[in-house]
Amino acid sequence: MEATQTANPQSFESVWALIQETDRIVKENAQGMKELREIQKETARQMQKTDSELGKLNKRMGEIVEFMVAPNLREKFKEFGFNFSESSQNKEVVDKNNKISFEIDVFLENYSKAMLVEVKTTPTTEDVKDHVKRLEKMRKYADLHGNSGLKSKRTFFGAVAGVVIKDNIRKYILKQGFFVIEPSGESFNITPPNGKPKEW
């Protein structure tokens, strides 16, 4: 006697319901992924805007530090044997023929010596390295242009000023032979490098 096989309508309904549920979940996930991508795009845009605003704020803070520090630097450096007769801010040095171009935040000078001061809100190792390169360019520029007509070779020194300077960065600045300029109350302190300041 042959057994007859009959379809189970209930099992078909269960499978169909499962397929529909799976399809719904896939669509929801796709929509969720789309929304997530939109959120990521918006987050990236907001972060870019924040970075831009922070950059502007840091620049503004640097300008404020320059304004506060620059007028009193000549007097302060007398404690270290420097008698600078002139000071200037945002001094540009350009020599297109020799591809030399840089800016000095604060420039102190007399007939035989000059101090290049880099001002940052929060100096980094890279800022210090850039300042070393700036001093090297200054030396090259001065040699090419005869030290502004002076018979004796003008000597260049460096300093880094900052509102907030981390301990490891301070040590690194001093190690490079630079002076460190930091706020202290209503004034500021200058810390000389370990040993003799580096000359360029």
Say if residues 90 and 99 touch (Cβ distance below 8 Å).
Answer: no
* Range(s) of the domain holding residue 171: 68-191
Rg of the chain, C-alpha, whole Å:
32
List the single range of 63-77, 87-101, 150-164, 180-194 with lowest mean pLDDT. Answer: 63-77
Whether residue 4 is contained in a domain is answered as no
CATH number of the domain within which 177 lies: 3.40.1350.10
Please give the pLDDT value at position 57: 54
The whole-angstrom separation of Cα 153 and Cα 140 is 12
Whether residue 33 is contained in a domain is answered as no
Whether residue 74 is contained in a domain is answered as yes
**pLDDT, tens digit, 9 for 90 and up, residues 127-183:** 999 999 999 999 999 988 876 555 568 899 999 998 889 999 999 999 999 999 988
Residues 93-129, buried b or exposed e (16+ Cβ, 10 A)?
beeeeeeeebebbbbbbeeebbbbbbbbbebeeebbe
Whether residue 59 is contained in a domain is answered as no
Q: What pTM does this model have? A: 0.67
Tally of domains within the chain = 1
- Percent of the chain that is helix, strand, coil (3-state, to 5): 55, 25, 20
* Residues paired with residue 175 on neighbouring β-strands, in sequence order: none
Whether residue 114 is contained in a domain is answered as yes
Percent of the chain with pLDDT over 90: 38
